Chain A
Amino acid sequence: MSATTPTLPQPANTTVLPPPTERYSALGWLRKNLFSTWYNALLTVVLAVIALLLARGAIEWVFTQARWEVITTNFRLFMVGQYPAAATWRAWACVALLALLIGLSWGMWGRGQRAGAIAFGALPFLLALITTDETARVALLITGVAGLIGYALSRWRGDGLRRVSLIAWVLYFPIVIVLISGFGGAEGLLPQVPTNLWGGLLLTLLLTVVGIVFSFPLGVLLALGRQSSLPIVNTLCVIFIEFIRGVPFISVLFMAQLMLPLFLPDVTIDRVVRAMAGIVVFSAAYLAENVRGGLQAIPRGQYEAAKALGLNTWKLMLLIILPQALKAVIPILVGQFIALFKDTSLVVIVGLLDLMGIAKTVLAQPDFLGLQAEVYVFVALVYGVFCYLMSAFSQRLEVRLNTAR
Chain B
Amino acid sequence: MANAPLPPPTSRPQTSRAFWRDERFIQVVAQIVFLGLVIWLAVTAAQNMLGALQQQGIALGFSFLNNGAGFDIGEALIRYVNTDTFARALLVGLLNTLLVCALGIVFATVLGIAVGVARLSGNWLVNRMAWLFIELMRNVPLLVLLIFLYTAFFLKLPRVRQAVNIGPVYLSNRGVAVPWGEPTEAWPVFIYILIAAIGLAILVALAMRLWQDRSGRPKPVAWPSLLTFFGISVVGWFVLPQAPLSLSLPAITGFNFQGGRTFTPEFLALLIGLTAYTAAFIGEIVRAGIQAVPKGQVEASRALGLNASRTLRLVVFPQALRVIIPPLTSQYLNLVKNSTLAVAIGYPDLFAIAGTIINQTGRAVEMIALIMAIYLSISLLTSLAMNIYNRRVRLVER
CA distance A58 to B141 in the complex (A): 21
Give the shortest distance, in Å, between A380 (CB) and chain B (any CB). Answer: 5
Query: CB-nearest residue of chain A relative to B136?
Result: A384
State whether the Cβ of B158 lies closer than 8 Å to any Cβ in chain A: no
Query: CB-nearest residue of chain B relative to A379?
Result: B144
**Known contacts A36-B122, A345-B144, A388-B139, A376 near B152 by CB under 8 Å:** yes
Chain A positions 239 through 265: 1 when the CB is less than 8 Å from some CB of chain B, otherwise 0: 000010111111100110011011111
Chain A positions 4 through 47: 1 when the CB is less than 8 Å from some CB of chain B, otherwise 0: 00000000000000000000000000000110100010011001
State whether the Cβ of B338 lies closer than 8 Å to any Cβ in chain A: yes
CA distance A263 to B49 in the complex (A): 5
- Interface window among B27-35, B210-218, B243-251: B27-35
Give the shortest distance, in Å, between A379 (CB) and chain B (any CB). Answer: 6
State whether the Cβ of B356 lies closer than 8 Å to any Cβ in chain A: no
**Known contacts A230-B30, A372-B151, A44 near B49 by CB under 8 Å:** no
* Cross-chain contact of A250 among B27, B129, B340 (Cβ < 8 A): B340
Interchain CB contact under 8 A, B376 and A345: no
Interchain CB contact under 8 A, B343 and A349: yes
State whether the Cβ of A181 lies closer than 8 Å to any Cβ in chain B: no
Query: CB-nearest residue of chain B relative to A370?
Result: B156
- Chain B interface size, as a band, is 35 or more
CA distance A258 to B48 in the complex (A): 14
Interchain CB contact under 8 A, B122 and A251: no
- Chain A interface size, as a band, is 35 or more
Interchain CB contact under 8 A, A250 and B341: yes
Interchain CB contact under 8 A, B38 and A236: yes
State whether the Cβ of A101 lies closer than 8 Å to any Cβ in chain B: no
Give the shortest distance, in Å, between B137 (CB) and chain A (any CB). Answer: 10
Chain B positions 123 through 135: 1 when the CB is less than 8 Å from some CB of chain A, otherwise 0: 1111001000001
Give the shortest distance, in Å, between A332 (CB) and chain B (any CB). Answer: 12
Interchain CB contact under 8 A, A258 and B340: no
- Within 8 Å CB of B340, what residues of A? 248-251
Interchain CB contact under 8 A, A251 and B48: no
Give the shortest distance, in Å, between B235 (CB) and chain A (any CB). Answer: 35
Interface of B is mostly: helix
* Cross-chain contact of A383 among B139, B341, B343 (Cβ < 8 A): B139
Interchain CB contact under 8 A, A251 and B351: yes
CA distance A236 to B35 in the complex (A): 9
CA distance A363 to B126 in the complex (A): 37
Interchain CB contact under 8 A, B144 and A356: yes
State whether the Cβ of A51 lies closer than 8 Å to any Cβ in chain B: yes
Interchain CB contact under 8 A, B34 and A233: yes
- Within 8 Å CB of A373, what residues of B? 148, 152, 156
Give the shortest distance, in Å, between A180 (CB) and chain B (any CB). Answer: 22
Interface residue ranges of A357-373 to B (CB < 8 Å): 363, 372-373
Interface of A is mostly: helix
- Within 8 Å CB of A346, what residues of B? 143, 341
Interchain CB contact under 8 A, A388 and B368: no
Interchain CB contact under 8 A, A376 and B135: no
- Within 8 Å CB of A251, what residues of B? 340, 351, 368, 371-372, 375
* Cross-chain contact of B139 among A243, A246, A262, A387 (Cβ < 8 A): A387
CA distance A231 to B375 in the complex (A): 27
Interchain CB contact under 8 A, A43 and B126: yes
State whether the Cβ of B45 lies closer than 8 Å to any Cβ in chain A: yes
CA distance A379 to B124 in the complex (A): 30
* Cross-chain contact of B365 among A43, A262, A383 (Cβ < 8 A): A262
Give the shortest distance, in Å, between A39 (CB) and chain B (any CB). Answer: 9
CA distance A202 to B337 in the complex (A): 27
State whether the Cβ of A348 lies closer than 8 Å to any Cβ in chain B: yes
State whether the Cβ of B264 lies closer than 8 Å to any Cβ in chain A: no
**Residue of B31, B141, B344 with most chain A CB atoms under a 10 A cut-off:** B141
* Cross-chain contact of A34 among B49, B125, B148 (Cβ < 8 A): B125
Query: CB-nearest residue of chain A relative to B28?
Result: A230
Interchain CB contact under 8 A, B364 and A246: no
Interface residue ranges of B329-376 to A (CB < 8 Å): 337-338, 340-341, 343-344, 351, 355, 358, 364-365, 368, 371-372, 375-376
- Within 8 Å CB of A34, what residues of B? 123-125
Residues of B whose CB lies within 8 Å of any CB of A are: 27, 30-32, 34-35, 38, 45, 48-49, 51-53, 122-126, 129, 135-136, 138-145, 147-148, 151-152, 155-156, 337-338, 340-341, 343-344, 351, 355, 358, 364-365, 368, 371-372, 375-376, 379-380
22 A-B pairs whose Cβ atoms sit less than 8 Å apart in the complex = A33-B124, A36-B123, A40-B123, A48-B125, A233-B34, A236-B34, A236-B35, A243-B376, A247-B379, A251-B368, A251-B372, A255-B372, A259-B368, A261-B52, A262-B364, A265-B48, A342-B141, A346-B143, A348-B344, A372-B156, A376-B144, A391-B139
Question: Could you list 12 further interchain pairs (A-B, Cβ under 8 angstroms) beyond the known A247-B376, A255-B368, A263-B45?
Answer: A34-B123, A44-B125, A44-B126, A246-B376, A247-B372, A258-B368, A259-B49, A265-B48, A265-B51, A372-B148, A380-B144, A383-B144
